[in-house]
Amino acid sequence: MTTTEEVRRAAQDVGPPPQRREKKLSPRDRLVVAGMLLVPIVLVVWLVWLPALGSVVLSFGKWNGFGDLDTIEWVGTQNYEDIATIYPPFWPAIQHNLIWLAFLFMFPTVLGMLLAVVLDREMRGSRFYQTAFYMPVVLSVALIGFIWQLFYSRDQGLINQVFNTQVDWYGDPDVNLWAVLVATAWRHTGYIMLIYLAGLKGVDASLREAAAVDGASEVRTFFHVIFPVMRPINMVVVVIVVIESLRAFDIVWVINKGRNGLELIGALVGQNVIGEATRYGFGSALAVIMMLISSVFITIYLRNVFREERQG
């Protein structure tokens, strides 16, 4: 008997492989799965999409928040036209948001990345330094504004006491924006540091070893090997910085409600919706503008993510 025949007979004796039975979910399991999907969907629609759509609809009307929805006066695009033409704080707010964006990119983002690179070397006390730099991130932005009042107070602030000056850092419109940006950078630096530190931990060590074998310096290795590999992290940081600069609100609101040199789009929305004006339609139009600007960067980010997934 040949070897081929022996194999054939052995296969016949064994028979076909048993078919894998798919385990069907019980009615109770199906109910649990349906609940796990339905509850988050309902919450997202209720807390995110409905208010967003409501703001878009309300931006085409005038309403002071009193009375029924039937009292809304629909004015079309009049709110948007007034914002661009006869609303003085709008264009300064756009300028300040752009300054906020550029400042976050140029200083705390770069500093956070530098700190991540240094702490990734597992130096002595790196855990302590990570905790110290990340500590401001767990604080609210409004609380950070109050903390930095200890430095910026005109009468008892640390800066004026050390340099024997009488500068009203939060009140002077020529300097208060930069003072607030420094306070914001204190928190933003630790946030970016943590993101880049997590990204550096995921970089393949063989890339560093190959660069070292080729004789590349650490600086050249980072910018030509490590940094390009962390492209997804870089995109996340870009989106975070853009969104942070557009939704800046808390710290300027607790200082002077976004007035006197601290005009920001988010603060203007608050002034018109929850301030003394109570112009819900006008404030909604400002919120829609801010949402559209944010959506541009988010769309670019998601497009790049989906492109990478298709290529992968």
Within 8 A by CB and 6+ apart from 188, the residues are 104, 108, 109, 112, 244
Residue 68 in any domain: the answer is no
Residue 217 in any domain: the answer is yes
Within 8 A by CB and 6+ apart from 181, the residues are 99, 100, 103
Count structural domains, the chain.
1
pLDDT at 220: 85
12 pLDDT higher than 70: no
11 pLDDT higher than 70: no
Residue 198 in any domain: the answer is yes
Residue 183 in any domain: the answer is yes
Per-residue model confidence as pLDDT tens digits over 230-284? 888 888 888 889 888 888 888 898 888 888 888 999 899 888 888 666 788 899 9
Asked if residue 254 lies in contact with residue 146, where contact means CB atoms within 8 angstroms, the answer is yes
pLDDT at 157: 85
Residue 38 pLDDT grade (very low, low, confident, very high; cuts 50, 70, 90) = very high
194 pLDDT higher than 80: yes
Residue 175 in any domain: the answer is yes
Residue 147 in any domain: the answer is yes
Which of the two residues, 308 and 280, has the higher pLDDT score? Answer: 280
CA distance 290 to 93: 11
pLDDT at 27: 80
Residue 248 in any domain: the answer is yes
Per-residue model confidence as pLDDT tens digits over 100-151? 999 999 999 999 999 998 888 877 878 888 888 888 888 888 888 888 988 8
Residue 7 pLDDT grade (very low, low, confident, very high; cuts 50, 70, 90) = very low
39 pLDDT higher than 60: yes
Task: Please compute the mean of the pLDDT values over residues 34-39 and round it to a whole number.
Answer: 90
- Which structural domain range is residue 172 located in? 78-311
Residue 305 in any domain: the answer is yes
CATH number at residue 94: 1.10.3720.10
> Please, what is the average pLDDT of the chain?
84
pLDDT at 140: 85
Tokens of 58: 């309300």
Neighbours of 204 (CB within 10 A): 10
Task: Please compute the mean of the pLDDT values over residues 16-35 and round it to a whole number.
Answer: 72
Per-residue model confidence as pLDDT tens digits over 77-97? 999 999 999 999 999 999 999
Per-residue model confidence as pLDDT tens digits over 44-85? 999 888 988 988 999 999 888 777 777 888 999 999 999 999
